[in-house]
């Protein structure tokens, strides 16, 4: 990749001949020919970010190669060493060699790519999704769909404006068992369901402290940093521990926790809350983490008479009826335990008599591909709105923790009531040219 590509701005992108696709899209909603593939036409997908979760994206889409006529055609990562490893593994497993691209803007410029699958660090998710939609691509975006509440709303607006299929990576929505569980919550099996708890009890040891150093030659650190503010390179940022910094990640409530915040909202049938409070901190280790190790957050819905409790614990703990990573719903007639991504159990009455239960998964990648084929957003199990609200719940909890007070929120205006400091955390300061625009 040339240096000019690294310095390539969004405005310059729209001025290029091949960037004319995106320029045309700015004029209004449209469906571009390469994204309107028929059932017999091959879908070409690019995976953006292939160090961690991106490997599951590669396997998920390539598992659909014969059944759905899909191929992963491009592996994109700012670290060429990582991309090279994934390419070698891909060739060994599938007998073909996908293209490696370092700069994701080149992927958006490629008319042969129908969809992108985003598994970059959190701070890139919304901008990458918006740029992809402006270029006429459909999007699968990992959780959290956004790094801030404001940019999540921009992503929803972009999906509507450019008429794109956008799937949020909350794969529990494709679970047959959990779809059944939500039906039980709706039908009254538990009576009046008044509270949901989201639990994230993951084993998170100390990450220690690491000094700064020059970025490795294989990594384009400017691209990796993207819309965030630049910090000196350290191995405690790249490639995983960025999760525990405010600049690039959102802590575990905005990591593993998005599956559970989404399940809380889905199960209760609510959106963003009106009151939020949070307490927590770092109690175990003196390390480079900025986000709290332990965090308890309360979200209240006065009009609906419902409440969400969310708990993050990093170390030794009990597992709450097996829902160590999962959810518990409480109703007037019993409670329901969600375990992981594809299992639920119910317990009814004072004696906790076992009720309906089930374990059955689903294919979230397949659901995305089928929606691309049909061009019907209602076929998506995890539409773009879930990316905004489930991520937004985590963002609001983190803001309440950081300002250390009860917050009152207007879910219609998506602003805090009478709190300029908290409002200032709804949006980040972007670093040009990696900017989410006010008008997408």
Structure tokens at 376: 């019907």
Kindly state the helix (H) or strand (E) to which residue 133 belongs, with its residue range.
helix 125-134
What is the tens place of the pLDDT at every residue in 365-413?
Answer: 999 999 999 999 999 999 999 999 999 999 999 999 999 999 999 999 9
CATH 3.30.360.10 residue ranges for the chain = 176-209+222-361+392-417
Q: Return the CA Rg of the chain.
A: 21
What is the tens place of the pLDDT at every residue in 127-175?
Answer: 999 999 999 999 999 999 999 999 999 999 999 999 999 999 999 999 9
| 281 bridge partner residues | 294
pLDDT of residue 73: 98
Residue from 285, 281, 274, 315 nearest 296 by CA: 281
- Binned at pLDDT 50, 70 and 90, residue 37 comes out as low
Three-state secondary structure readout of 293-341: CEEEEEEEECCCCEEEEEEEECCCCCCCCCCCEEEEEEECCEEEEEECC
- Report the CATH superfamily, name and number, of domain 3-172+365-383: NAD(P)-binding Rossmann-like Domain (3.40.50.720)
- Binned at pLDDT 50, 70 and 90, residue 5 comes out as very low
> What 3-state DSSP class applies to 219?
strand
**pTM assigned to the model:** 0.91
Mean pLDDT of the chain, nearest integer: 92
Structure tokens at 371: 């929606």
CATH 3.40.50.720 residue ranges for the chain = 3-172+365-383
What is the tens place of the pLDDT at every residue in 313-358?
Answer: 999 999 999 999 999 999 999 999 999 999 999 999 999 999 999 9
Q: Where are the alpha helices (DSSP H) in 203-323?
A: 221-225, 257-268
Cα gap 332→407, rounded to integer Å: 28
CA dihedral over 137, 377, 250, 52, signed as positive or negative:
negative
Strands 138-141 and 166-168 come out as parallel
C-alpha 149: how far from chain center: 12
> What 3-state DSSP class applies to 261?
helix
Is pLDDT at 29 greater than 80 in this prediction?
A: no
List Cβ neighbours of 433 (8 Å cut-off, separation of 6 or more).
7, 8, 9, 10, 11
What is the tens place of the pLDDT at every residue in 49-70?
Answer: 999 999 999 999 999 999 999 9
Is pLDDT at 31 greater than 80 in this prediction?
A: no
What is the tens place of the pLDDT at every residue in 66-94?
Answer: 999 999 999 999 999 999 999 999 999 99
What is the tens place of the pLDDT at every residue in 267-302?
Answer: 999 999 999 999 999 999 999 999 999 999 999 999
DSSP-derived letter for residue 79 is B
Q: 342 near 177, Cβ under 8 Å?
A: yes
Q: 20 near 135, Cβ under 8 Å?
A: no
Structure tokens at 146: 């956004």
Q: Helix, strand, coil proportions of the chain in percent (round to 5)?
A: 35, 20, 40
Separation in Å, CA 71 to CA 66, 99, 120, 164, 365: 9, 12, 20, 19, 12
Cα gap 223→242, rounded to integer Å: 15
pLDDT of residue 12: 38
Cα gap 150→83, rounded to integer Å: 31
Architecture of domain 176-209+222-361+392-417: 2-Layer Sandwich (3.30)
Cα gap 37→114, rounded to integer Å: 8
């Amino acid at each position: 990749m040339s240096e000019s590509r690294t310095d390539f701005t969004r405005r310059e992108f729209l001025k290029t001949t091949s960037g004319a696709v995106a320029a045309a899209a700015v004029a209004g909603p449209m469906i571009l020919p390469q994204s309107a593939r028929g059932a017999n036409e091959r879908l070409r997908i690019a995976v953006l970010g292939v160090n961690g979760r991106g490997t599951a994206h590669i396997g998920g889409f390539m598992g659909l190669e014969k059944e759905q006529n899909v191929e992963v055609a491009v592996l994109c990562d700012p670290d060429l060493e990582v991309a090279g490893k994934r390419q070698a593994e891909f060739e060994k497993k599938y007998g073909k060699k996908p293209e490696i691209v370092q700069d994701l803007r080149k992927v958006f410029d490629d008319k042969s790519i129908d969809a992108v699958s985003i598994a970059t660090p959190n701070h890139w998710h919304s901008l990458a999704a918006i740029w992809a939609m402006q270029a006429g691509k459909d999007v699968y975006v990992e959780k959290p769909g956004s790094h801030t509440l404001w940019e999540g709303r921009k992503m929803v607006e972009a999906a509507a404006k450019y008429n794109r299929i956008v799937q949020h990576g909350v794969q529990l929505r494709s679970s047959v068992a959990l779809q059944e569980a939500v039906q039980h919550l709706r039908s009254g099996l538990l009576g009046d369901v008044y509270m949901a708890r989201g639990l994230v009890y993951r084993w998170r040891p100390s990450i220690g402290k690491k000094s700064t150093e020059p970025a490795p030659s294989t990594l384009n650190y400017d691209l990796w940093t993207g819309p965030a503010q630049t910090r000196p390179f350290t191995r405690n940022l790249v490639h995983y521990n960025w999760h525990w910094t405010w600049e690039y990640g959102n802590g575990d409530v905005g990591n593993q926790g998005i599956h559970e915040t989404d399940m809380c909202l889905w199960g209760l049938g609510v959106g963003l809350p009106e009151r939020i409070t949070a307490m927590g901190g770092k109690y175990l280790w003196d390390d480079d983490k900025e986000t709290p190790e332990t965090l308890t957050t309360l979200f209240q819905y006065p009009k609906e008479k419902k409440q969400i409790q969310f708990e993050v614990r990093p170390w030794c703990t009990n597992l709450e009826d097996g829902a160590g990573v999962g959810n518990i719903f409480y109703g007037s007639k019993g409670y329901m335990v969600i375990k992981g991504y594809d299992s639920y159990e119910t317990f009814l009455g004072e004696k906790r008599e076992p009720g309906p239960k089930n374990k059955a998964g689903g294919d979230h990648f397949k659901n995305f591909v089928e929606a691309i084929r049909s061009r019907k957003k209602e076929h998506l199990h995890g539409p773009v709105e879930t990316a905004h609200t489930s991520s937004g719940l985590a963002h609001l909890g983190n803001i309440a923790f950081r300002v250390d007070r009860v917050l009152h929120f207007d879910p219609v205006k998506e602003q805090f009531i009478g709190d300029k400091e908290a409002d200032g955390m709804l949006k980040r300061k972007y670093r040009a040219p990696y900017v989410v625009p006010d008008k997408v």
